[in-house]
């Protein structure tokens, strides 16, 4: 298993090699890109995954969660080559950025550099190690095996360490489901707290705000932006 900063994720039997060659050429000045199928070889930690259209409307909208599980919670950039989805639908499905093909190579490279920069600027989460290959977690002295759903929910919380995420947020971005019934999310959270044992305090909940994973060394920390907001209420 090897690490790679940029991965171009393709559906099985993708039929537009010219588009892939163009994307790789545009990335020459940014960094090497690895081409991979989502269910192909495990690559380890990845910073940016570029998901190329060709999946079909529903599979594309559902691709965010498996890509995050498979590639270690990277930034996701979708390249739409047809009118199967709107940009708003793709962003709401859990992608971090979206654009249509054809796109200027200069703009495409700039979008990837921006995504790499945002990933690099995220706080270091030394308190927790997620293993997407074996669906396991190590946090402090606690090690636990997780189900796919539990791993997806935890990965989403860890990926956004400065935000409170509601049950609806996690239902869509982590589990790829739409609707208002967040019972499945609550069950995953309860199971995670049990498995975290002495570290269960890290998975926090606040009424009207949602859930937050605390990767600090202090039980008193909360996301600063949302903390100021709650003080005004």
Output the DSSP codes for 73-111.
S-EEEEEE-STTS-HHHHHHTT-SEEEESS--HHHHHHH
d(CA 220, CA 230): 15
Q: Are residues 58 and 100 in the same domain?
A: yes
Q: Residue 229: pLDDT above 50?
A: no
* Strand residue runs (E) in the chain: 4-10, 33-37, 46-52, 75-80, 97-100, 128-131, 136-139, 142-145, 203-206, 210-213
Can you give the residue range of the structural domain that contains 42? 4-121
| Residue where one domain finishes, among candidates 121, 149, 183 | 121
Q: Are residues 109 and 136 in the same domain?
A: no
The model's pLDDT over 190-207, given as tens digits with 9 standing for 90+, comes to 999 999 998 898 899 988
93 neighbors 61 (Cβ within 8 angstroms): yes
What CATH number does the domain containing 184 carry?
1.10.10.10
| Residue where one domain finishes, among candidates 66, 94, 121 | 121
The model's pLDDT over 147-167, given as tens digits with 9 standing for 90+, comes to 999 998 998 888 877 678 888
Is residue 75 very low, low, confident or very high in pLDDT (cuts 50, 70, 90)? confident
pTM over 0.95: no
Q: Are residues 115 and 132 in the same domain?
A: no
Q: Are residues 98 and 137 in the same domain?
A: no
| Residue where one domain finishes, among candidates 57, 92, 121 | 121
The domain tally of the chain equals 2
What CATH number does the domain containing 42 carry?
3.40.50.2300
Q: Are residues 84 and 134 in the same domain?
A: no
Q: Are residues 106 and 147 in the same domain?
A: no
- Higher per-residue confidence, 35 vs 38: 35
């Amino acid at each position: 298993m090897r690490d790679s900063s940029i991965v171009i994720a393709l559906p099985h039997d993708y039929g537009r090699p010219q588009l892939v060659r163009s994307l790789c050429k545009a990335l020459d000045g940014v960094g090497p890109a690895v081409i991979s199928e989502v269910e192909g070889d495990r690559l380890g930690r990845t910073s940016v995954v570029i998901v190329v259209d060709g999946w079909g409307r529903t599979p594309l909208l559902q691709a965010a969660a498996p890509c995050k599980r498979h590639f270690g919670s990277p930034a996701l950039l979708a390249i739409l080559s047809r009118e199967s989805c709107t940009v708003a639908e793709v962003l709401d499905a859990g992608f971090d950025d979206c654009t249509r093909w054809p796109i200027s190579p200069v703009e495409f490279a700039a979008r990837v550099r921006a995504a790499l920069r945002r990933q690099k600027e995220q706080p270091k989460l030394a308190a927790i190690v997620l293993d997407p290959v074996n669906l396991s977690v190590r946090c402090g002295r606690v090690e636990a095996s997780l189900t796919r759903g539990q791993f997806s929910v935890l990965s989403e919380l860890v990926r956004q360490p400065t935000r409170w995420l509601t049950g609806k947020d996690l239902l869509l971005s982590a589990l790829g489901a739409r609707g208002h019934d967040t019972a499945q999310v609550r069950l995953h959270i309860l199971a995670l707290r049990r498995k975290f044992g002495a570290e269960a305090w890290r998975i926090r909940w606040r009424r009207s705000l949602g859930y937050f994973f605390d990767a600090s060394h202090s039980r008193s920390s909360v996301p600063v932006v949302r903390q100021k907001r709650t003080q005004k209420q």
